[in-house]
């Protein structure tokens, strides 16, 4: 619990109506119920920025380890700015949505170039940082510097739509703008960083998308959606498109102790700049061996002999559900690979940034190679 938060329950109430009272109820609840998350123990704007970027599209439980390891590896904005893209992608490996890691790196380089070691204290200055939007600018400056800047993420959107029973799509005007205004109105009392975090915490732990826990909510007596008896009706989000299935095949080609991987182009739609086992998209598993043979020979100049199926690996990338069929190959001939491919030793392979499914394949291959 932060010091500012723990003082909340001792502060006398000033108002029994309006946003001020709502904020007081919220902060009292937050002082007692907030989770002790590592990024809540710091006011370092760099660390808070890292946590906010990691938390976009990733669960808190997953982020904790990544956050701690990231700060050990890149403890300051300067150390991040000096890192290579390969290092950054390796540290991000497994978190998904890798464009976030590249944006952090680009942002760190901008901050060091434009601001030196002093990170900016205002939302408007943060909005000039590549990859930083209104949410991140508000979160970093309110938590680190006490700036009176609101935040609206998915949790805040849901809580406010329910509290005021707001119809319409919260991702579009006019409701999107109205939510920012309502979030800002709640910053009427208390530390803005605590109010923002309390609002997000309420959405994450109490006012959840399904079966909100209205019985333990500090706002249950004031919540219009709860009073109407249908809180789950809000927010009125458009239906999500169904996940698209994709079938892929990859080749685990070995030559002696080494294995072949190819680097994705920097502008690739998926896994940009990351290393993959040579991979093709196929209509079905029946096309896999033919497509891989063509890819290995024509594209990479490394024809191979199939040794057998290595495994099937399922994973999700954005809206795609990927089934990846992996085959083991032995390289034929001694030609140098082309098209961004190269041979890697087991120790080098451990240090590469691989997408999650390819990392699982690599780890399985490494442990099988170590035990044979």
Catalytic residue status for 52 = yes
Active-site annotation holder among 20, 52, 230, 257: 52
Interface residue with ligand SF4 among 108, 191, 204, 225 (CB under 6 A) is 225
Residue 220 binds to ligand SF4 (criterion: CB under 6 A): yes
Q: Please tell me the distance from the alpha carbon of residue 111 to that of residue 66, in angstroms, as a whole number.
A: 22
**Number of neighbours of residue 79 by Cβ within 10 angstroms:** 14
| CA 183/CA 26 separation, integer angstroms | 13
Candidate residues 105, 223, 248, 262; the one interacting with ligand SF4 per rule CB under 6 A: 223
Q: Is 212 near ligand SF4 (CB under 6 A)?
A: yes
The answer to whether residue 302 forms part of the interface with ligand SF4 (CB under 6 A) is no
Q: How far is CA 185 from the centre of its chain?
A: 28
- Helices 45-55 and 60-73: crossing angle, nearest 10°? 140
- Residue 226 within binding range of ligand SF4, rule CB under 6 A: yes
- Segment (H or E) for 328: strand 320-331
**Tokens 């990231």 — which residue?**
70
Sign of the alpha-carbon torsion through 268, 271, 272, 277: negative
Of residues 149-168, those binding ligand SF4 (CB under 6 A)? 159, 162-163
Q: How far is the CB of 16 from ligand SF4 (least distance, A)?
A: 18
Between 182 and 206, whose beta carbon lies closer to ligand SF4?
A: 206
User: Would you call 341 helix, strand, or coil by DSSP?
Assistant: strand
Q: Which is nearer to ligand SF4, 223 or 357 (CB)?
A: 223
Among 219, 343, 344, 365, binds ligand SF4 (CB under 6 A): 219
Is there binding between residue 25 and ligand SF4 (CB under 6 A)? no
Place of tokens 């998915």: 154
Q: Which residues bind ligand SF4 (CB under 6 A)?
A: 159, 162-163, 206-207, 212-214, 217, 219-220, 223, 225-226, 231
């Amino acid at each position: 619990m932060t010091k500012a938060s723990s003082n909340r329950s001792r502060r006398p109430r000033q108002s029994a109506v309006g946003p001020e009272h709502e904020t007081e109820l919220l902060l009292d609840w937050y002082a007692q119920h907030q989770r002790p998350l590592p990024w809540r123990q710091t006011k370092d704007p760099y660390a808070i920025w890292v946590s906010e970027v990691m938390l976009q599209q990733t669960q808190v439980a997953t982020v904790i380890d990544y956050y701690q390891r990231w700060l050990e590896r890149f403890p300051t904005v300067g150390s991040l700015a000096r890192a290579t893209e390969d290092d950054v992608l390796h540290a991000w490996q497994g978190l998904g949505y890798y464009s976030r890691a590249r944006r952090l790196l680009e942002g760190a380089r901008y901050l060091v170039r434009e601001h030196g070691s002093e990170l900016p204290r205002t939302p408007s200055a943060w909005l000039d940082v590549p990859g930083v939007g209104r949410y991140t600018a508000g979160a970093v400056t309110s938590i680190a510097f006490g700036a009176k800047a609101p935040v609206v993420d998915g949790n805040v959107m849901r809580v406010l739509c329910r509290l005021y029973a707001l119809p319409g799509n919260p991702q579009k005007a006019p409701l999107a703008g109205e939510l920012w205004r309502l979030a800002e109105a709640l910053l009427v009392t208390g530390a803005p960083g605590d109010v923002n975090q309390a609002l997000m915490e309420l959405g994450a732990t109490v006012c959840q998308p399904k079966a909100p826990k209205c019985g333990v909510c500090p706002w249950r007596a004031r919540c219009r959606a709860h009073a109407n008896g249908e809180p789950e009706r809000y927010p009125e989000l458009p239906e999500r498109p169904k996940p698209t299935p994709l079938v892929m095949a990859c080749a685990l080609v070995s030559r002696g102790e080494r294995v072949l991987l190819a680097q994705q182009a920097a502008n690739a739609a998926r896994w940009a700049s990351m290393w993959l086992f040579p991979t093709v998209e196929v209509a079905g598993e029946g096309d896999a061996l033919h497509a891989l043979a063509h890819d290995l020979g024509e594209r990479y100049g490394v024809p191979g002999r199939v040794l057998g199926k290595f495994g099937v690996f399922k994973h999700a990338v954005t809206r795609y559900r990927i089934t990846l069929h992996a085959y083991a190959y032995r390289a034929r001939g001694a030609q140098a690979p082309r098209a961004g491919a190269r041979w890697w030793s087991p120790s080098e392979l451990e240090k590469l940034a691989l997408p999650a499914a390819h990392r699982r394949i690599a780890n399985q291959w490494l442990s099988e190679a170590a035990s044979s």
